[in-house]
Chain A
């Protein structure tokens, strides 16, 4: 194939761009452990509401100070509607849906996952900033989709411990 000189430069540059992109993804994945939520665990959607764990959604503060948040996403709300977690500690969200697919997106963070009936979604994140965050459903789930949200309140640790008792 007869390839023009300029075109050769361009082909190498294009290949270079692709290599840089792949390398930076490889670096953030393996070097900084940035992974999308990819938890594999199944559950029967028909039993979610009576499930030991998901039937009683809420926040648990673990002995090591980290928190586990169990969320039920359903047409058209999240339970709990208000989630209080400690600042600067790993917070693990576990959630599922008894009906259709929903999304769980903590606005302005990279906490973002699909919530799919039959499956348990899970990711761990920690919040550096105390204050109120908005959680929205970001997958269309029906006519009330835009009303589906929750409030997430990140508190400094002392307050959170008290909050956990409440």
Chain B
């Protein structure tokens, strides 16, 4: 029994609703980009929809899902209730109020600034205040989990931190470091400016603070997916986790390296010295390492599963895996997609090649592989496994659930490959139309946007299947005995080895030092420039 079951469920349902709404908007966007004559199609609607889709997917769906997952996993893995459930609920409601404010402003057309909200594009002040509340609510969640962990530690001074909790703590540390940047941007710059208390704003400073947040944000999305890959998937596959200490090593590397890299999103910005961009580029390449290790450890765990079921040859263990289990297939397909996305990411971050792809359709092709699949598909897979356990109901519409990951995979390949290609041919991202005065080269993008629309359609159908399965399970799933949540066992228990990897305080301290090295001087140099602020504009 999970005492904070309701809390976890509340967070997960918010995530599922946000995901479903955002998927519907996405279908409209993908069709619109293919230049189809839709009845309600207009530039205003398009950019409004892209803002809503970006905010709901990247900021709302992910954050709430991660909070829900973490409550359930922490309580189960530590085998004790969370500390301060009332405070946890209060934080939840703060985040909800913030989300509603943001969504209302976007839907009212008062905040068509996209989910990156770069000033001097200026949204209604309630948009920024809502964002701040969402972040504050998430800090409440961080505090609850940390307190629970510390209480558990006092009760079990000699025990190893359970692996899922190790990963969740890494997620929280990355999030806390990241949100310092966006909180500074929103509270110090954007809110006073949108209220008219200040007249002008420095757009490059705002972008530096945004991307201080923006890159670790992607690891905030990814680490929980890794937690599922490491601690759930091997179990679902019928095997064991290949290596416990290496998993901890991966989480620790993410704590250290997720953050001092944000300038790789500003490679072609003026006002930032090339040397700092280069430094952040090198740090970025280092983060490839833990992801490469993950690929090995998780695939090796699947091989263990196949061999435990009797496979003997080189590749026949693949056949032994439960490909029709939606949790397993989601994770396996998400991993394949992530491998492609990872190599694309190395190209984006490559100092010299970035200019070929920056702000082109290539980028949206890229991040739909990473957050849009490695994270989102893994979360859907996790929901098939977790929701029935939390609800005490059987999964409904299992046929749809089984098809859903494969549909997503297919749709995403079409969508993403098409966008990578049109991007290389120069098509910018975030455009409603691309006639460009009848430009010949722009005509060549049409084939790509057509394929992308077909992919988008598959993706939408897949998202709808997922939503139906969740709805069906929540409302009509057959009641059953509550099933315990169990995590994968490692091949070898960690015992007393590599205890250093559990010292979260130490790693947090080192991460902060790295962050200072990466940002202190660039920020000081920037602040000492003779800067002229920009006034706000709302051309929407």
Contact = CB atoms under 8 A, between A and B. Distances in A.
Interface of A: 1-4, 6-7, 10-11, 13-15, 17-18, 21-22, 24-25, 28-29, 34-46, 75-76, 99-101, 103, 105, 107-108, 110-122, 134, 136-146, 149, 151
B120 A42 contact: no
Nearest to B266: A114
B300 A43 contact: no
Contacts of B431: 145-146
A100 B288 contact: no
Interface centre among A34, A36, A113, A138 (most CB of B within 10 A): A36
Interface stretch (B184-192, B347-355, B382-390): B347-355
A3 B246 contact: yes
Contacts, number: 220
Given A134-B442, A138-B429, A7 B296 contact: yes
B289 A14 contact: yes
B172 interface: no
Given A10-B296, A11-B293, A29-B351, A141 B288 contact: no
A14 B293 contact: yes
B527 interface: no
B118 A101 contact: yes
A35 B173 CA distance: 33
B277 interface: yes
B297 interface: yes
B267 interface: yes
Contacts of A142: 121, 537, 539-540
Interface in B206-256: 207, 242-243, 245-246, 249
Interface in B82-123: 112, 114, 118, 120-121
Given A118-B203, A143-B540, A137 B428 contact: yes
Interface stretch (B159-167, B433-441, B476-484, B512-520): B433-441
Q: Which 7 A-B pairs have the closest CB atoms?
A: A142-B539, A107-B426, A14-B292, A138-B428, A34-B352, A138-B359, A44-B532
Given A1-B497, A145-B430, A114 B292 contact: no
Contact of B359 (A43, A100, A122, A139): A139
A100 B120 contact: yes
Contacts of A144: 43, 539
A118 B352 contact: no
A114 B539 contact: no
Given A117-B120, A119-B270, A143-B44, A7 B532 contact: no
Given A13-B292, A143-B47, 20 more contacts: A3-B243, A4-B242, A10-B293, A25-B350, A36-B354, A37-B270, A40-B271, A45-B532, A105-B359, A110-B355, A110-B356, A114-B268, A134-B442, A138-B428, A138-B429, A142-B540, A143-B540, A145-B432, A146-B432, A149-B436
Interface of B: 43-44, 47, 112, 114, 118, 120-121, 202-204, 207, 242-243, 245-246, 249, 266-274, 277-278, 281-282, 285-286, 288-289, 292-293, 296-297, 300, 346, 350-352, 354-356, 358-360, 425-426, 428-437, 439, 441-442, 492, 497-498, 529-535, 537, 539-540
Given A7-B300, A42-B531, A134-B436, A105 B270 contact: no
Contacts of A115: 270
A81 to B, nearest CB: 9
A21 B532 contact: no
B430 A140 contact: yes
